[in-house]
Amino acid sequence: MSIVAIGCNHRSTPLAVLECLTVAPEDLPKALSDLGSAEHLSEVVVLSTCNRIEIYAYAERFHGGYQDIREFLSRHSGLPPEAFADHLYALHDAEAARHLFSVAAGLDSVVVGEHEILGQVRSAWEQAGTAGTVGGALGQLFRHAIETGKRARTETSIGRGIASVSQAAVALVTDTLDGLSGRSVLVLGAGEMAEGTIRALASAGVSDVFVANRTWDNAVELAAACGGTAIPLDGLNEALASVDLLATTTGAQTLILESGDFDGLMNRRGGRPLVIVDIAVPRDVDPKVADLDGITLLDMDDIGAFVDHAMASRVREVGDVKAIVADEVERYRSNTSAREVAPLIAALRRQADQISERERERFAAQLATLDADQQAMVEALVQGVVNKLLHEPTVRLKDAAGHARGDRLAESLRDLFDL
């Protein structure tokens, strides 16, 4: 059995492909159910965010698990495997742990050190628990990943300054509009990303916030929380005629705004330019909107490029965080190996006891002719031989637990004794 991590992210995959592969929150229970019933997967956690889709599994065989996951991604996205297979990364055991720990620590995010990803890792684990697709193996892995993420943010400055995609988006549009003080903004969406965006906008000094969402009650609740105004979706055109900025953050699987929805908008705005920042994956706004006069459309690719130039100070913390991740991976491997050694040794002992018992039964007639002292002597002899034969392998296995040599010894023991 192996822990495998198979997926793709903003670094490995074009946005147009990544947005097809991501799993929407409302589709997650079905995705977990489908993967949990796959032939080679016994535990599954799906981590799907605006920057990544990763599937962690406890697989009977690595290649079988990879095939099951690739087929799921194809069914889910409607893409043939060859459309995305070259973008997938596939990791197992210690390297899978190293990757997840790096993700939780914020090293693999668009915004290095972002704080949102840690909550997303925890949520992915909890939702898998609710679906019944996570057990001891992945439970231990994700618990340790969350500990690693917390340690990275406590012991280094990796999470200071711009610490989320929404903060980076607001910083980018602040530069684009030469400041947000006194500006009006329409936020499309009412989830966690929308909340984070509105908080960042408030800090930047926007004057008026309008919130639109397909669920009216959610729009009203978020607008009330931020002192803004909720508007219905059918009021988008009217709102777009007056605001300075549109920020889209929904989890919709199809475009919310097509290029045609902006026909005549510049006339209604009196020629005033409009900035749109689309931080949704899949995208909310048709990319063709970027070609329209008077409209500046920014998406996750633009945010990533902006962050690369703005994160010099935080990058200095990366080395320290990588050292923490390496330390935690070694601790995780040690703990995992130590836990695996105990049942392996117990299985070896049980097998030796079963062999001894079968041999006693085979020679029962001969042993019956011996008196009690002689029978006790034979029993002590058999038990002594078994104990001495098992002593050295047991000691060596315990001493090597948690290291690569221990993993090799354990695997050899399983093969040699068919455990």
Q: Which residue has the higher pLDDT, 393 or 152?
A: 152
Mean pLDDT score, 238-256: 92
Q: Is the pLDDT of residue 188 over 90?
A: yes
Least confident of 58-72, 87-101, 327-341, 369-383: 327-341
Scanning 78-131, the segments in alpha helix (DSSP H) are: 94-104, 116-131
Q: Is the pLDDT of residue 407 over 80?
A: no
Q: Which residue has the higher pLDDT, 5 or 385?
A: 5
Scanning 189-317, the segments in alpha helix (DSSP H) are: 192-204, 216-226, 236-240, 265-268, 300-310, 312-315
pLDDT in tens, 6-32: 999 988 999 889 999 999 889 999 999
Mean pLDDT score, 378-406: 80
Rounded to an integer, what is the distance from CA 221 to the centroid of its chain? Answer: 29
∠149-161-317 over CA atoms, to 5°? 55
Residue in the structure block whose two tokens are 């055991």: 93
Question: What are the structural domains, with CATH classification, of the chain?
Answer: 2-160 (3.30.460.30), 165-307 (3.40.50.720)
Q: How confident is residue 402, by pLDDT bands cut at 50, 70 and 90? A: low
- As a whole-number percent, the residues of the chain with pLDDT over 70 amount to 96
Q: How many CB atoms lie within 10 A of CB 396?
A: 14
Q: Which residue has the higher pLDDT, 399 or 418?
A: 418
pLDDT mean across residues, the chain:
89
pLDDT confidence of residue 243: 94
Least confident of 109-118, 200-209, 250-259, 275-284: 109-118
Mean pLDDT score, 145-154: 94
Mean pLDDT score, 219-225: 93
Mean pLDDT score, 47-67: 92
Q: How confident is residue 38, by pLDDT bands cut at 50, 70 and 90? A: very high
Mean pLDDT score, 362-387: 87
Burial class (CB in 10 A: 0-12, 13-18, 19+), 98: buried
Q: Which residue has the higher pLDDT, 98 or 61?
A: 98
Q: Is the pLDDT of residue 161 over 70?
A: no
- Kindly list the catalytic residues: 50
- Is 397 in a helix, a strand, or coil? helix
Q: Is the pLDDT of residue 45 over 70?
A: yes
Q: How confident is residue 162, by pLDDT bands cut at 50, 70 and 90? A: low
pLDDT in tens, 306-353: 877 666 666 778 899 999 999 999 888 877 776 667 778 888 888 888
Residue in the structure block whose two tokens are 């040599």: 405
pLDDT confidence of residue 167: 84
pLDDT in tens, 87-139: 999 998 889 999 999 999 999 988 787 788 999 999 999 999 999 999 988 99
The residues pairing with 8 across neighbouring beta strands, listed in sequence order, are: 53
Q: Tell me the pairing of strands 52-59 and 2-9.
A: antiparallel
Q: Is the pLDDT of residue 210 over 90?
A: yes
Inter-CA distances, 338 with 203, 334, 386, 402, 407, Å: 49, 6, 23, 6, 10
- Is 122 in a helix, a strand, or coil? helix
What are the two backbone dihedrals, phi and then psi, of residue 223, each rounded to the nearest 5 degrees? -60, -40
pLDDT confidence of residue 312: 64
Overall pTM surpassing 0.75 (yes/no): no
